[in-house]
A and B are shown apart, each in its own frame.
Chain A
Amino acid sequence: MIANLGYGAVLITGLLALYGIVAALYGLWRNRPDWVESARNAMLLTFPLLSLSALALIYLLVTSSFEVAFVAEVTSEAMPTYLKATALWGGQAGSLLFWAWLMSAFTSAVTLRKWERDREFLPWVILVGLVTLGFFLLLILVFENPFERLWALPDGSVEQSILRPMGGVLFTPRDGNGLNPLLRHPGMIIHPPMLYLGFVAFVIPYAFAIAALITGRTDDRWIRITRRWTLWAWLFLSLGLVLGGRWAYDVLGWGGYWGWDPVEISAFMPWLSGTAFLHSVMIEEKRGMLKHWNMILIITTYALVIFGTFLTRSGVLSSVHAFAQSAIGPAFFIYIGVTFLVSMGLLFYRWNDLKAKNQMTSLLSREALFLLNNLLFIGILVICFWGVIFPLISELATGQKVTVGPPFYERATAPLFAAMLFLMGVAPLSAWRHSTARTLGRAMWKPFLVSLLAPIGAFIGGVRLWAGLLTFWLAAFVASVTLYEFWRGARARSRRAGEPFPVALWNLAKRNRRRYGGYIIHLGVVLMAVGIIGIEAFQAETQKTIPQGGEISLRDYTMRYESLAFFDTPDNRNVARAVVSVYKNGKYVGELHPRRDFFYDSQQPMTIPGVRSTMEDDFYVLLVDWMPISSEGATFKVFHNPLVNWLWWGAWVFIIGTLVAAWPDKDPAEMAAATVKVPSRKPARARAYGD
Chain B
Amino acid sequence: MKKRITWLLPLLSLSFLLLGVVSVQAQSGTPHTPTDDEVNAVASQLYCPVCENIPLDVCGTQACAQWRDLIREKLSEGWTTEEIKTYFVEQYGDRVLATPPPRGLNWLVYVLPPLLILAGAVILVQAFRAWKTPTEEPLEAEMAPSTPEAAFSDDEYIARLEEELKNR
Contact = CB atoms under 8 A, between A and B. Distances in A.
Interface of A: 252-255, 259, 261-262, 285-286, 289, 317-318, 357-361, 363, 368, 371-372, 375, 378-379, 382-383, 386-387, 390-391, 393-394, 397-398, 400-408, 410-412, 414-416, 418, 431-434, 436, 438-439, 442-443, 465-467, 488-489, 492-493, 495-496, 508, 511-512, 514-515, 536-537, 541-545, 605, 607, 635, 637, 674, 689, 691
A231 to B, nearest CB: 13
Nearest to B146: A434
Contact of B109 (A404, A496, A536): A404
Contacts of B73: none
A361 B120 contact: no
Nearest to B40: A543
Interface string B72-109: 00000000000000000000011111111000111011
A393 B106 CA distance: 10
A489 B55 CA distance: 50
A254 B48 CA distance: 14
Nearest to B117: A379
A386 B112 contact: yes
B8 to A, nearest CB: 5
11 contacts: A358-B139, A375-B120, A390-B109, A391-B95, A402-B100, A411-B8, A439-B152, A467-B11, A543-B35, A544-B35, A689-B142
Nearest to B8: A411
Contacts of A360: 127-128, 131-132
Contacts of B60: 253, 605, 607
A394 B148 contact: no
Given A411-B8, A418-B7, A405 B165 contact: no
Contacts of A382: 113, 116-117
Interface of B: 3-5, 7-8, 10-11, 14, 35-37, 40, 47, 52-53, 55, 58, 60, 93-100, 104-106, 108-109, 112-113, 116-117, 120-121, 124, 127-128, 131-136, 139, 142-143, 146, 148, 151-152, 154, 157-158, 160-161, 164-168
A403 B96 contact: yes
B108 A359 contact: no
A361 B109 contact: no
A442 B149 CA distance: 10
Contact of A375 (B98, B117, B158): B117
A375 B126 CA distance: 14
Contacts of A495: 154
Contacts of A438: 148
B161 A492 contact: yes
Contacts, number: 181
Given A360-B128, A403-B47, A605-B60, A512 B168 contact: yes
A414 B37 contact: no
A394 B108 CA distance: 10
Contact of B36 (A285, A363, A408, A543): A543
A405 B93 contact: no
A442 B151 contact: yes
Contacts of B11: 465, 467, 536-537
B10 A466 contact: yes
B94 A400 contact: yes
A482 B158 CA distance: 17
A433 B166 contact: no
Q: Which of A286, A371, A390 has the most CB of B within 10 A?
A: A390
Given A467-B8, A691-B167, 20 more contacts: A289-B131, A357-B136, A361-B143, A371-B124, A383-B113, A386-B113, A400-B94, A401-B95, A403-B47, A407-B99, A411-B5, A412-B113, A414-B4, A465-B11, A467-B11, A492-B157, A492-B158, A493-B158, A495-B154, A541-B37
B143 A434 contact: yes
B59 to A, nearest CB: 9
Contacts of A358: 139
Contacts of A387: 109
A117 to B, nearest CB: 18
Contacts of A637: 36
A508 B157 CA distance: 14
Contacts of B58: 252-255
B100 A394 contact: yes
A193 to B, nearest CB: 24
Contacts of B165: 508, 511-512, 515
A512 B96 CA distance: 52
A403 B5 contact: no
Nearest to A359: B131
Contact of A408 (B35, B99, B139, B168): B99
Contact of A359 (B52, B109, B139): B139
B138 to A, nearest CB: 10
A635 B4 contact: no
Contact of A397 (B105, B112, B143): B105
B142 A433 contact: yes
B5 A372 contact: no
Given A394-B105, A403-B53, A434-B143, A542 B37 contact: yes
Given A359-B134, A489-B161, A605-B60, A404 B116 contact: no
B98 A390 contact: no
A254 B93 CA distance: 25
Nearest to A410: B8
Contacts of A515: 164-165
Given A375-B120, A410-B8, A318 B52 contact: yes
Given A317-B52, A414-B8, A467-B7, A398 B105 contact: yes
A259 B53 contact: yes
Nearest to A406: B98
B10 A691 contact: no
B145 to A, nearest CB: 10
Contact of A635 (B36, B105, B132): B36
B151 A439 contact: yes
A492 B116 CA distance: 44
A434 B108 CA distance: 40
A684 to B, nearest CB: 12
Given A407-B99, A511-B165, A401 B53 contact: no
Given A382-B117, A466-B10, A405 B164 contact: no
A412 B52 CA distance: 22
A259 to B, nearest CB: 7
A286 B167 contact: yes
Nearest to B53: A261
Given A375-B120, A401-B93, A412-B113, A390 B108 contact: yes
A124 to B, nearest CB: 26
Contacts of B135: 359
A605 B64 CA distance: 14
Given A361-B132, A689-B142, A372 B124 contact: yes
Contacts of B168: 285, 512, 514, 674
